[in-house]
Amino acid sequence: MALNVQTVFARQFGRADNYRIPSVIRTKAGTLVAAADERFFTARDNPNRIDKVVRRSTDNGETWGEQIVVCEEVGESKNDGSAAIDPCMLYDESTDTIHMIYSHTPSGIGILNSKKGTGQDKDGNLYLFEGKKRYTLKNGKVYDDGLEDKDYKVADNGDVFYKGESAGNYKLNSGKLKELATSYLYITSSSDDGLTWTKPVNLNYQVKEEYMSFIGAGPGVGIVVKEGKYKGRLIFPIYYNTKQTFAVLMLSNAIIYSDDHGKTWHRGLSPNQTRKNGIFPINHKFLMPTDMITESQLIECEGGLLKLFMRNHSPKKLIATAISEDGGVTWKNYKHHKQLPQCICQCCVINGEDNGKPVTIFLNAADKSARRNGVIRLSYDYGETFEYSKLIKEGEFVYSCMVWLGNGEIGVLYEENTKHEEIQFVKVSLDYIKQK
């Protein structure tokens, strides 16, 4: 049986030749909102000009509306363009609000050369630099040691004006003032099923530490806890780097959470702060390359227990899992899942329902040597064991994201190959996965 594949993100719907990093959620109105990176100068990660875009479907993925720009960055070249990279969305049904986090970087900055620091003060105001001199940006005004410097004005998009004249943009090489050359975790929200989005808010001062250089989102989706002590908690997966030396990565993941519907955010501990390599505790600030854990997704198990599924750099080439009993603040039982091969690539996992009982659905490039062969799997014990599996995309298969559609169907948004020119959508039924 052939699956009906649709193209959701591509040049014919947008403004760029390359699209990456799928995220998709479903609202209580039944609207599907799909998000992606719109990458302007090659398909590569930052440094690059990368915007955040979405498309919506009001008929459960049968058709899709016009592309909407959620976050528009600036710049006219790969090395002089700012980025909003890697969307991760969740839907809070209690407030009918979609939240999206992503990582912002100024021109020339990516995961390998982000500087350590938050780039903000304790109140969330952005630091701007003129050489080594530091200013503070607050409500479009520039302050020097608490006093307003009236020579400067800054627009919402980062354009800088000095004595009434254009002075570049603080996100670009042209800026007379520049933001710290690091990674920033931003959040934007929509209360109308993805039609319009709020002005992005910088979360670094709430969830990033000064010893961190890179900080990134998910990518994929977050969850809202449905049961137990932490019911209503919003949770996003993130990961971060603790090394500043160029081309050296020491990556760990964690979650950020909100108990007030997204007004304030906190970061939990990383599994790398509680696990051991043999008998020795792992130092999450100074990691061996094989101990790195990065992009992750999570599900809620019975009673509000959380389970994290992680891309990792172990030579075992298996997805790692860990359990949290305190809403994502700490993690235990770190292990590699023997049924889940990986090629050091992102995975996705969600919960659904099969004839009244919970079912966990997992999808990734199920190959230990290359990003290929998208295999979807079903578990009836929250991912401890997987009873059914089905190859849904032979050959190249990269990042993906799933959404529960109801009526025994899953929506899959995925990168079909490493050219990264299109992102596809397909519906897959539980019955199809179970077929021999």
> Which pTM was predicted?
0.97
If you ran DSSP here, which 8-state letter would residue 170 be given? T
Kindly report the CATH number that applies to the domain delimited by 120-179: 2.40.220.10
Instruction: Please give the positions annotated as active site.
Output: 45, 295
Fold adopted by 5-119+180-434? Neuraminidase (2.120.10)
Q: Is 12 helix (H, G, I), strand (E, B) or coil?
A: helix
- Helical residues (DSSP H) of 94-247, grouped into ranges: 204-207
Establish whether domains 5-119+180-434 and 120-179 are of one fold.
Answer: no
Distance CA 250, CA 39 (A): 26
pLDDT (0 to 100) of residue 5: 96
Q: Which of 55, 52, 120 is nearest to 82 (CA)?
A: 52
Q: Which of 377, 381, 339, 376 is nearest to 357 (CA)?
A: 381
Distance CA 212, CA 120 (A): 13
Are 257 and 235 spatial neighbours (Cβ–Cβ below 8 Å)? Answer: yes
Domain regions of the chain by residue span:
5-119+180-434, 120-179
**Cβ neighbours for 342, distance < 8 A, ≥ 6 positions apart:** 311, 312, 317, 318, 319, 364, 365, 366, 368
pLDDT (0 to 100) of residue 401: 98
Phi, psi torsion values for 58, nearest 5 degrees: -105, 10
Average confidence (pLDDT) per 10 residues, the chain, 436 residues:
90 98 98 98 98 98 98 97 98 98 98 96 98 96 96 96 97 96 98 98 98 97 97 98 85 98 98 89 90 98 96 98 98 98 98 96 98 98 98 98 97 98 98 94
